[in-house]
Structure 1
């Protein structure tokens, strides 16, 4: 009889060691860039109130996993939605189910880590202050990760609610609150946009030459205005960010002009594309998520949990 390891939300979060996640995500992104992963198109079952999406994937050396996530309107937060789900990890050689874990912290941390990898690869070395736009769960995950990796670089947080912005900024030792989104963005060399926006919250005129923008929100609409997309060198996790329609693809990358290219972040990380070419170049990484990244994060959580003897073993 086989056993499966169950990790609740707290244990899943604790097992996602930031540096190990960054390393595993780098492996997964490079594999995407080399077309070495097996990830079928996303599918979803729809109800009158929301949807249940299924995202399986295989990354050689990291494993085989599938995420099931429900996206439903949140009555407590009009205009926003809840994301709840599970990730199942399987042995890639014999198909045995190995672990079941909470998808919410896993998605938050792997998304923040992917955005961070984009900044490391594409931002100027002297980029200086970082702006985080948003105050929700994903923005807070981004700030917490920045605090864990680089507690000294100043981080300014911008959002609609000053109280929520203040509590989010407090997650970083060098965090502060911007008076407005425009104020925060204008002074930053790196901008992380982590919102549930349905219309642009960042304007091209606010971005200084050489800024790097990492946009991970905008599931329901564009976070960035068309002028930012027009002027930026574009990067994404996968080509489907531009070639498939939302919600699989990115709102901002739809209907690009003929000849406009979107470079895969994994090609930069793998050394087959130079990434940023000039100090004054505006770079934009647009994230839509990818099942290979869930595989990478699940691999880390399972490895750490086993080493620490965390979780509950359930007979199958």
Structure 2
């Protein structure tokens, strides 16, 4: 890459990337990307990864018409400061879709967390019961933090948010930071919730079907190392995903929970947002949205950040 190409590009560190991801614009851009996926208007080859003995480097390029071209490079390595947990570090390069010019380099970690939370909020709006107000967020890492921050921007909806996880100290600290309640256990939080957002690095199910009240909505964005949801929950629920590969592709591109699930059981969230397919059809049914991530969502977030910082039009 030439020096001129870098000199002309917007370069944002972690703080700059976080500040540029304005919640309202981000949610609208992510919605555009999800609808584009459902319309098969997105170009995104299967994600690839190079592996070392200690971790991996993944690559996710994508194009969304009207939003641009972007590619994420991200490493997933064990985090010595948090035994049993992994750290995700990398960058997102955003390009002009007409000229190929590099527009921006952004920090991938806050960008990924924010766009994932935006997808969860869109699924919550589309699939939870209209009267759902009690939200349980499971997890205490970066994804849970991003979900809680975004839910705080939805305060006008009168939400009551509870945090639960396996580390009581981290649960209390995260709940206090976001003005949420700290649950005594994951089971207690789930049993009291109208909607549950799972944001963990679980390698085995942490949520059980018998804890869910009729009509509960479940969103799951974690579980890259294994399933967050038990098989009984998946069998009982109406299922939604970002893209067909969530079931058709093996992990980590696809979801552990959706392996072997017939394609006809899964509705794309973008189809619901576009008005082509129904979301919730019965107030007593469980709904499950399983997120695996998609390059189109990185494009949406990068386009948002670039537009916010440069004063451009709607991303």
Does the alignment reach a TM-score above 0.5? yes
After the TM superposition, list the runs of 4 or more consecutive aligned residues in structure 1 that deviate by more than 3 angstroms.
Answer: none
Q: How does 1:170-189 map to 2 (within 5 A)?
A: 170-173=176-179, 175-189=180-194
C-alpha deviations, 1:241-280, integer Å up to 9, x for none? 0001001000000112x56521100000000001110000
Q: Which of 166, 169, 175 lines up with 1:169 in the alignment?
A: 175
C-alpha deviations, 1:201-246, integer Å up to 9, x for none? 0000000000000000000000000000000100000000000100
Secondary structure of residue in 1 paired with 2:204: coil
Report the Cα distance in structure 2 between the residues aligned to 1:8 and 1:200, rounded to whole angstroms.
35
1:148 matched to 2:139? The reply is no
Contact 2:244 2:263 in 1 (8 A): no
Secondary structure of residue in 1 paired with 2:153: helix
Report the Cα distance in structure 2 between the residues aligned to 1:5 and 1:216, rounded to whole angstroms.
29
1:269 matched to 2:273? The reply is yes
TM-score by length of 2: 0.95
Determine the structure 2 residue equivalent to 1:298: 302
Report the Cα distance in structure 1 between the residues aligned to 2:70 and 2:244, rounded to whole angstroms.
21
Determine the structure 1 residue equivalent to 2:26: 21
Q: How does 1:93-132 map to 2 (within 5 A)?
A: 93-132=98-137
1:217 matched to 2:212? The reply is no
Contact 2:138 2:199 in 1 (8 A): yes
Secondary structure of residue in 2 paired with 1:86: strand
Report the Cα distance in structure 2 between the residues aligned to 1:81 and 1:161, rounded to whole angstroms.
16
In structure 1, stretches of 5+ residues that fail to align are: 309-316
Determine the structure 1 residue equivalent to 2:64: 59
C-alpha deviations, 1:67-117, integer Å up to 9, x for none? 000011112222211100000000000100111010000000000110110
1:247 matched to 2:252? The reply is yes
Report the Cα distance in structure 2 between the residues aligned to 1:300 and 1:72, rounded to whole angstroms.
28
Q: How does 1:27-66 map to 2 (within 5 A)?
A: 27-66=32-71
Report the Cα distance in structure 2 between the residues aligned to 1:268 and 1:207, rounded to whole angstroms.
23
Secondary structure of residue in 1 paired with 2:177: coil
Q: Which of 208, 215, 223 lines up with 2:213 in the alignment?
A: 208
Secondary structure of residue in 1 paired with 2:143: helix
In structure 2, stretches of 5+ residues that fail to align are: none
Q: How does 1:220-239 map to 2 (within 5 A)?
A: 220-239=225-244
Relative to structure 1, is the Cα distance of residues 215 and 259 closer, same or farther in structure 2, using a 3 angstrom cutoff?
closer
Report the Cα distance in structure 1 between the residues aligned to 2:277 and 2:170, rounded to whole angstroms.
39
1:280 matched to 2:288? The reply is no
Secondary structure of residue in 1 paired with 2:239: strand
Determine the structure 1 residue equivalent to 2:94: 89
- RMSD of the alignment, in Å? 1.2
Contact 1:129 1:154 in 2 (8 A): yes
Determine the structure 2 residue equivalent to 1:314: none
**TM-fit CA distance, 1:162:** 1.7
Report the Cα distance in structure 2 between the residues aligned to 1:127 and 1:23, rounded to whole angstroms.
22
Contact 1:13 1:106 in 2 (8 A): yes
Report the Cα distance in structure 2 between the residues aligned to 1:172 and 1:113, rounded to whole angstroms.
17
